[in-house]
Amino acid sequence: MRVVHGYMMFKHFYYFTICLLTVILPYQLLRAELKGLDLKTGSFTLKQLKAASDNFNSANKIGEGGFGSVYKGELADGTIIAVKQLSPKSRQGNREFVNEIGMISCLQHPNLVRLYGCCIEGDQLLLVYEYMENNSLSRALFGAGSETSFLTLDWPTRYKICVGIARGLAFLHEGSAIRIVHRDIKGTNVLLDKDLNAKISDFGLAKLNEEENTHISTRVAGTIGYMAPEYALWGYLTDKADVYSFGVVALEIVSGKSNSSYRPENENVCLLDWVNHRQSVSVAILN
């Protein structure tokens, strides 16, 4: 009997410890971290965001990323928003959530997606952004799955999108009070407004660019296929890493081919390789 009682005590203690380590502590730390930041964003209640998105109705879902789902919503004052709901399972997401708020809350530029604010309630972490009517550049170029949701982009529009991304990056690298390397420039992180102006989103991986401290030895992060070789292989990070990723996105814009869903054919292992083999006949890469 005593053995059973001891076992039950142990089991409760075990569950309590797991709960403390995985649920309670991370959220307390997150709250403390957010308090420490001089935030220039608003804060929303869960009730407000549930009302805005019709209780996160699947009909309002506009995208899905590595950290959770994104919903369209309408606030009581009529503002249309995009709400990113971080999956409670995503522990890495907590760090990126704090980073995203810290970074983007102090940056405003016509080519950066605006963060209106966030919500932390219970185990819910939500980010509230300006709504981008034409979704992501990837969706515009390649569609989403079986849907024929891609847009026909003419050359002046493709040019405008390239210039928009470049302006956003120039602001991050040189134009703001703090220097930032985004680290995750790719088609799904470039969003398009109703007039097809490009805006850079997702600052979860962004890092301050400190000239004397360019070597990252612990956690190289980004998306395969878009990371500059010197960064992916050696952790050497400067703003040039973003310029490399922008180059890959520019190739996608020009060729109309997706780098991430590229299937190796013949001797080419990626889009870059494919373009490289065609450099003498530049017209052959145009979409």
Give residues 1-20 in contact with ligand ATP (rule: CB under 6 A): none
Q: Which does 220 bind (CB under 5 to 8 A by kind): Mg ion, ligand ATP, none?
A: none
- Which lies closer to ligand ATP via its Cβ, residue 100 or residue 275? 100
Choosing from 189, 197, 209, 255, the residue that interacts with ligand ATP (CB under 6 A) is 189
Which window, 9-17, 31-39, 46-54, 188-196, contacts ligand ATP (CB under 6 A)?
Answer: 188-196
CB-CB neighbours of 161 under 10 Å: 22
- Which lies closer to ligand ATP via its Cβ, residue 84 or residue 173? 84
Rounded to whole angstroms, the Cα distance separating 130 from 110 reads 12
Which window, 4-12, 48-56, 59-67, 234-242, contacts ligand ATP (CB under 6 A)?
Answer: 59-67
- Note whether 62 binds ligand ATP by CB under 6 A: yes
DSSP characters over 230-258: HHHHH-B--THHHHHHHHHHHHHHHH---
Q: Please give the residue ranges that form the binding site for Mg ion (CB under 5 A).
A: 189, 202
- Note whether 216 binds ligand ATP by CB under 6 A: no
Is 184 labeled as catalytic in the residue annotation? yes
Choosing from 85, 111, 201, 209, the residue that interacts with ligand ATP (CB under 6 A) is 201
With CB under 6 A as the rule, give the number of residues binding ligand ATP.
21
Rounded to whole angstroms, the Cα distance separating 160 from 58 reads 33
CB 270 within 8 A of CB 264: yes
Torsion sign (Cα): 87, 88, 94, 99:
positive
CB of 66 to ligand ATP, least distance (A): 3
CB of 259 to ligand ATP, least distance (A): 13
- Which lies closer to ligand ATP via its Cβ, residue 225 or residue 277? 225
- Which lies closer to ligand ATP via its Cβ, residue 173 or residue 186? 186
Give residues 69-128 in contact with ligand ATP (rule: CB under 6 A): 70, 82, 84, 113
- Note whether 183 binds ligand ATP by CB under 6 A: no
- Which lies closer to ligand ATP via its Cβ, residue 66 or residue 175? 66
The active-site residue out of 38, 54, 77, 184 is 184
CB of 53 to ligand ATP, least distance (A): 13
- Note whether 60 binds ligand ATP by CB under 6 A: no
**Residues near ligand ATP, by CB under 6 A:** 62-67, 70, 82, 84, 113, 129, 131-132, 135-136, 139, 188-189, 191, 201-202
